[in-house]
Structure 1
């Protein structure tokens, strides 16, 4: 993927760098705050092959990229300049736009802006905590061992010093100096303050005062709301103080005023008030959860992915943090996991029934990404466009969530909802019924999603409407019954056995039986009479269907999708009728080699399960249009 080229196209699509107030990224999305959202060209962005989807929701213009979002973000940041991430220089147009934004949209924008910069390390810390809990439960480690203590410090450091990290990102989000708000977070977790808290909780109950005002000491480690409110106050004071101080002393007197005012104000008022609010939220959530845990799980499992589509899930994330900080555990994250697994099951069902090579490949990659909590490729690329699989996935998530809620499963650390969440729900007492309930609920979510999609998810459509031809030409006479046929060589070159293809997706037979060819000539010609079923947007691969019902994938090179179509020229279109020897594609062999990519071209029968055997008829060097594969009925 050419990140610089893509970054330029995205910048143009969002209305140029001057239209960006600020932007961040999460696991798969670029999240823009635009000064004038109407200037964005959503249609043009959606047509980019590297863009999975475009969503305008929650006050954010979101461009879904996938796993390479960080590289794209870095490229955009380099092109747009440092000022893009500084929302404290809002224009009049932006201010008017902000006034029109709903309160919920502003809240979601604030929360996502604060937490997304370190969402990856939060997930990693949670996974490490889960693995340590598993090690303790299995007797591999003890909590007194040096190994455990070092790894626990690594996994707990982020959460213990949460106010520092949130202080930095909150300062950025609210348009102030992130280092001032970070210092405020440091004051909340300073050892002197923790010692004062412990002393206030002792039998003697030591009282301390600030200028005669009694101080309520609270342990702010792992807290969320106090530092967010304090950061907002600090940034508002900073903006006003800057306007009144001479330029010569502004750089050091502004922090002095902010720290001297906000830190005492936090310990005297903001902190206790925010802590009371945190406890109120946690107790309110627990009251609702205890009323009907299974109903809460069913509701979360059903609607979570819908919230993800519109970016509304960030409105629930603070509740998870708050539950962990106040209660030491959270029931929401385990009930969300079945919603993820329901979509994972749905794409597995699509993978099993699909005969379209592009759709099958996308389903395979979406399944593996979904297992690790990245569901955007599955949702935007497959289940949502096909509609019924998405609904089945939500139903599966609801059933699984109800079981998890009924089992009373809790998470003891934060993380993205993925397969590792199952180890984050192990309590300190070891594996119990709450853990087994979570396993059963998520296993059922995958099974229901998979079986339901396989059996009932096909009637709405089984191909991607944006890339696969929906009609067949009238002259094509495709047989519904498979029969024996011969596939001719589509390329000139050297035979490569399928198990030697340098890509596990192809060599492992996931997409079907076949062979590989290392081409010596940059031409792909038709190996039989039939039709062009699909042509990839980047023209590096195409799907063909013979008159005998054989479905063939020709994928020129390995990972050549990264070249964005540059070395390829298509001589056919989707739906075209083809005959043996017709020129289908031409490509520049040297350009692919210079890009550091393999030229080995998989030639696979994607519906090989419909046939008895697939035998290779050639070896060594092959020329044009000689017998290559024998397909037996």
Structure 2
């Protein structure tokens, strides 16, 4: 059934407590990200029952409503219109004066409630300064993902045309269109960094622009001439962050009459000099080390590295620690044109899909849970795994672990080919699963990259399915006679 963006936005707004409770609205490739004044006003059951909502992820005072690719952009536009220009009564009118209600006794509903409880407990245990810092890193880079995806796909298509010798009059234009954003990505990182940390965004962009300015070749730092782009996104982030702190320091000390002139001047001057004579050199060395380490890791221990990365990525997502990888992916894409880590990590989703299918087959009498799996599987195949994680595998327990086993097997498969000289990378971050196919790149050409990545997905599906089917469900989970708790929804004893 096709989701109506206006109705979905109105129902979501009602579920999160109305316009007065919304402090910020943004979206990434699959999620509507909301900042809330009072999270206690959220009716999570109502949110989950909204047609088109695939899942809800709680992150501190922020709520992430998983809607899926394409749908999220349309719903976000309608949601922003409701928040910005209409009263709460408008929202209630569009949903008939009430929010959708979830069935209270279904197996799927109970599993979703268990998943929500697990998420909340995990959130409380992990509300640390490190987690807050990772959230801020995500806020800087997530808004850039749509441009990374679009430019990545164009770069891949252009590469095919160049290799085939087709349309030689068009490929230079496509190169410019696909490469311009990556050439200036430092400016966007600087803009978002200043915005996230409370500075003036354009000043953050101005300071970060120094990193990519061609004229830096005339500047010598530590006895070595600088090069445009040295330090990349890491240098831009550090430069903008330093500029933000300098700006705040100036605002508190410069008289108001002179603030408009001196604060931006001192911010750009001081942060700019520090960037040229320190940050670019340090960030450049760090960026080079990241690229060298990633290549060495796959070339020498590819199968083992893939097994570890593919097996641990689902727990990283659950803990929110996967956000720390975003600047690493961006650095690799900027340096090498693709990130070799993302295809390995994407195998975790394949293990999750295989585990979900096994649960579907084993629990053939549980129509409610099977309905949930059927609705969530298409999103899972496209790399949106939250509905399956929080609605199926994590509440059941063992299927989450066997999904990790499937992810480890798929990662080992892709990593093995990297050891054999055929590493597979992704030209953009964000998509995974089947959605990553158009973004693949590799040393062996597109056909080899597609075959290796597809083989990894198939391995993850099969191993995740077999592991879950064999040991991923208790006798009570399958509704065996004498278990004492139908469908394994009571307290776990294993």
TM range, smaller chain: 0.7 to 0.9
1:9 aligns with 2:23: no
Which structure features the higher share of strand residues?
A: 1
Q: Which of 139, 149, 153 pairs up with 1:123?
A: 149
Gaps of 5+ in 1: 83-99, 198-206, 464-468, 472-633
Q: Is the 8 A contact 2:56 2:64 kept in 1?
A: yes
Distance 1:378 1:132 in 2: 36
1:171 shift after superposition: 1.5
Q: Which of 295, 307, 310 pairs up with 2:304?
A: 295
Q: Is the 8 A contact 1:23 1:32 kept in 2?
A: yes
1:340-489 aligned at under 5 Å gives the runs: 340-350=349-359, 354=364, 358-408=368-418, 409-411=423-425, 413-415=427-429, 416-427=431-442, 430-431=445-446, 436-453=451-468, 459=474, 461=477
Partner of 2:104: none
Instruction: Note the alpha carbon deviations across 1:48-85, whole angstroms, 9 max, x for none.
Output: 3236555455x664433322544565566567679xxx
1:145 aligns with 2:154: no
Distance 2:160 2:405 in 1: 30
Instruction: Note the alpha carbon deviations across 1:15-60, whole angstroms, 9 max, x for none.
Output: 945xx5x66443344556678xxx6339842453236555455x66
1:497-508 aligned at under 5 Å gives the runs: none
Instruction: Note the alpha carbon deviations across 1:418-470, whole angstroms, 9 max, x for none.
Output: 3243454433652576654333222111222345545665656479xxxxx96
Distance 1:165 1:61 in 2: 23
Distance 1:209 1:294, change over 3 A: closer
Which structure features the higher share of helix residues?
A: 2
Secondary structure of the 1:41 match is helix
Instruction: Note the alpha carbon deviations across 1:481-517, whole angstroms, 9 max, x for none.
Output: xxxxxxxxxxxxxxxxxxxxxxxxxxxxxxxxxxxxx
Distance 1:154 1:390, change over 3 A: farther
Count, aligned residues: 424
RMSD over equivalenced CA pairs, Å: 3.7
1:222 shift after superposition: 8.9
Distance 1:101 1:370, change over 3 A: closer
Q: Is the 8 A contact 2:155 2:178 kept in 1?
A: yes
1:271 aligns with 2:285: no
Distance 1:222 1:124 in 2: 24
Distance 2:397 2:12 in 1: 29
Q: Which has the higher contact order (CA 8 A, sep 6+)?
A: 2
Distance 1:422 1:222, change over 3 A: farther
Q: Is the 8 A contact 1:383 1:390 kept in 2?
A: yes
Partner of 1:93: none
Distance 1:285 1:102, change over 3 A: farther
Partner of 1:171: 194
Distance 1:330 1:241, change over 3 A: same
TM-score, length-normalised on structure 2? 0.73
Secondary structure of the 2:433 match is coil
Distance 1:325 1:120, change over 3 A: closer
Q: Is the 8 A contact 1:344 1:370 kept in 2?
A: yes
Instruction: Note the alpha carbon deviations across 1:562-586, whole angstroms, 9 max, x for none.
Output: xxxxxxxxxxxxxxxxxxxxxxxxx
Distance 2:377 2:178 in 1: 28
Gaps of 5+ in 2: 1-6, 86-125, 480-484, 488-494
1:405 shift after superposition: 0.7
Distance 1:69 1:330, change over 3 A: closer
Distance 1:130 1:452 in 2: 36
1:320 aligns with 2:312: no
TM-score, length-normalised on structure 1? 0.58
Q: Is the 8 A contact 1:54 1:63 kept in 2?
A: yes
1:186-205 aligned at under 5 Å gives the runs: 186-190=209-213, 192-193=214-215, 197=217
Distance 1:397 1:150 in 2: 39
